[in-house]
Chain A
Amino acid sequence: MKSDPGFYDYWPYENRPKIRWPGGKKMAFWVAPNIEFYELNPPVNPSRKAWPQPYPATQGYSIRDYGNRVGHKRQMDLLDKYGIRGSISLSTALCDHHPEIIQMCKERGWEFFSHGIYNTRYTYGMSEQQERDMIKDSMDSIYQYTGQKCAGYLAPALSHSELTLDLFAEVGTELFGNEGGIYTCDLFHDDQPTPIHTRSNKPFVSIPYSLEMNDTIAFVVNKIEPRRYGQMLKNNFDRLYAEGDESGTIMCIPTHNYQVSCPHRMKAYEEALDYITSHDDVWITTGKEIADYYLEHYYEQAKADIAQKGAAHKRTAI
């Protein structure tokens, strides 16, 4: 085990090279619906239980199924209304189970990125080859069902190994060259994209996917009231929008159709989306479009700035 994963270098938020998004916009905004499939009776993982109760875990399983049966259409209609294309964090077995959902999202030009195969199959305990196979299977599924070359990754149920990011980057290259496996949503250390070190040294970035704005973290972990969640979204937006004057910022709302699409939560969510999209200086986009744009325009500059500041810091320390 390591004391630090070593994916990125310290890089202070102040005095970074200035970012401007396409059209000169100061802020990028993306919504990442997690569209997940949880199994009623998954195989046992030695490190993590899928369900707290012995099989069948009626409650936990069925509320997640609610997201697909009931919630998906609600959130999709809402995103349509505000001109937002979702960037789907996808349990890719859902391509097989519920291709109807995949088709609807595909027709809307939504992005699909990998969130593993099932959200009840954890990375813990996998060999390197097993994790590589699982990631490849998930990216293959996305390509087969949508024609998209999977660019992003969020590990299933946020279960990682030390090699997760390396493997995702490598499998992406193997399948799709420089178009596949270019960004991760697994790290929460920054409000701007960050170059990430991987074993293969390919251009690879962390794109801010806010755990704090994640509806499941808000509602289930932090037990926040729906209207307060709506207010938090607006506050998060206001600050990042203001800071965008200095250098481009990113706001992400990660959602789950079994959480935010419940009838008592939709109103506050809609109010927040209405508020955010009413601002002019916002690039409403997807995770992949942010990653592509950043890699093309700012990645090398960022790396150079990080290297220079790191070297200066070392000199000072001596």
Chain B
Amino acid sequence: MALDKTYLEYAHRSHGMDHDRYDWSMLSDRPAVTWPGGKKLALWVNVPLQFFPLDQKGEPFKIQGGMTMPYPDLRHFSLRDYGNRVGIFRFLKAFDKYGVTPTFAMNTELAKRNPYLLNTIKERGNEVMCHGMHMDALHYGGQDKQIEAQLVQDSLTQLRELTEQNVTGWLSPGRNESENTPELLAANGVRYFCDWVNDDMPYTFNTQQGNLWAMPLSNELDDTFIMLNNLHSEEAYAEQMIDACDYLLKEANEQGGRILSLNIHPWMLGQPHRIAALERVLEYVMDQDVYSASASDILDAFTSQLKAP
């Protein structure tokens, strides 16, 4: 019994990362930034607006939050649709009440299917980033490159037409990528994407089609991660956000501006028994003198403070 000798060879065992996507850098070593108005903590509230197809293919895997029952899984289809009909309007009220500027990550398919919701978002004037075509149109390793290229192009082009926005942000469905996804995004005019969760601040992500910004959208603080995956209570969700806010604010005061990113789903936190937890969090965070802004505005504020190369 033995493994192939390559199993004990370490081709990338050298300084920095084991790939060339981004440079190795510790957050605590980077220059301090300050948000507009002298604020220390930026609040990025990111709202995925999602369409989960009833005829889910699950290629190459079934996405969390998707269909789990034999076809037709009316239970999960309609529970997710609830977010776009009911939950989102609870969200919007809460955002307005507490003066929060949200960013919407929209499936292009949902924008096509739901003109009322699309217009509601457009009229508010909030930033929309592309969340891929829909929740069963995954980007994944081994995917045919031409198919993925078409998917990226269609998702972005159509969403730009529908929203009449430039759409420079991207969040992959399931936050899953192929090895080509970053190049395809850069080639299609994307400026920042939110799939990687290795930082609490923006950093430069290399692609052969020009660089992207990786924006730090925490998955650990995601409402579905905490309540659907970890099965924590609404109360525990709120406590975790408040503890995170306190901690990041303290670190921001010591080391320089930080971002509290809340990825929240209307089909999860928009339920009647959960919305109060979100309101509690927003009330608490907005009381802390934070910079509540869109993902693009936060990124602009960040890049404007970088020294010219």
Chain A residue nearest to B242 in the complex (CB):
A264
Partner of A56, one of B8, B177, B241: B177
How far is B14's CA from A99's CA once the two chains are assembled, in angstroms? 10
Q: Known contacts A53-B61, A263-B200; is A58 also within 8 Å of B195 by CB?
A: yes
- 8 Å CB contacts to A: which residues of B1-35? 1-4, 6-8, 10, 12-19, 24-28
- Give the A-binding residues of B (Cβ under 8 A): 1-4, 6-8, 10, 12-19, 24-28, 60-61, 140-142, 175-179, 195-200, 218-221, 229-233, 236, 239-241, 243-248, 251, 260
How far is B14's CA from A55's CA once the two chains are assembled, in angstroms? 21
A63 B220 Cβ-Cβ under 8 A: yes
A126 interfacial contact with B, CB 8 Å: yes
Q: How far is the CB of A307 from chain B (nearest CB, A)?
A: 35
How many residues on A have C-beta within 8 angstroms of the other chain's C-beta atoms? 56
B176 A59 Cβ-Cβ under 8 A: yes
A-side contacts of B177, CB under 8 Å: 56, 58
Stretch at the interface among A67-75, A185-193, A296-304: A67-75
Partner of B246, one of A39, A64, A267: A267
Q: Is the interface of B mostly helix, strand, loop or mixed?
A: loop
A54 B60 Cβ-Cβ under 8 A: yes
A-side contacts of B229, CB under 8 Å: 223
How far is B12's CA from A97's CA once the two chains are assembled, in angstroms? 9
Chain B residue nearest to A261 in the complex (CB):
B247
A53 B141 Cβ-Cβ under 8 A: yes
B-side contacts of A127, CB under 8 Å: 1-3
Q: How far is the CB of A143 from chain B (nearest CB, A)?
A: 16
Q: Known contacts A56-B179, A73-B28, A227-B239; is A93 also within 8 Å of B10 by CB?
A: yes
Chain B residue nearest to A117 in the complex (CB):
B10
How far is B10's CA from A134's CA once the two chains are assembled, in angstroms? 11
B-side contacts of A16, CB under 8 Å: none
Q: Known contacts A55-B179, A225-B232; is A97 also within 8 Å of B246 by CB?
A: no
A73 B26 Cβ-Cβ under 8 A: yes
B26 A72 Cβ-Cβ under 8 A: yes
B198 A69 Cβ-Cβ under 8 A: yes
B241 A264 Cβ-Cβ under 8 A: yes
Q: Known contacts A55-B179, A264-B247; is A125 also within 8 Å of B3 by CB?
A: yes
How far is B12's CA from A100's CA once the two chains are assembled, in angstroms? 17
Partner of A264, one of B7, B28, B60, B221: B221
A43 B13 Cβ-Cβ under 8 A: no
Q: How far is the CB of A100 from chain B (nearest CB, A)?
A: 7
Beyond A223-B231, A264-B241, 6 additional pairs, beta carbon < 8 A:
A40-B18, A62-B197, A100-B26, A133-B8, A225-B240, A265-B243
A144 interfacial contact with B, CB 8 Å: no
How far is B5's CA from A133's CA once the two chains are assembled, in angstroms? 11
A-side contacts of B231, CB under 8 Å: 223
A40 B26 Cβ-Cβ under 8 A: no
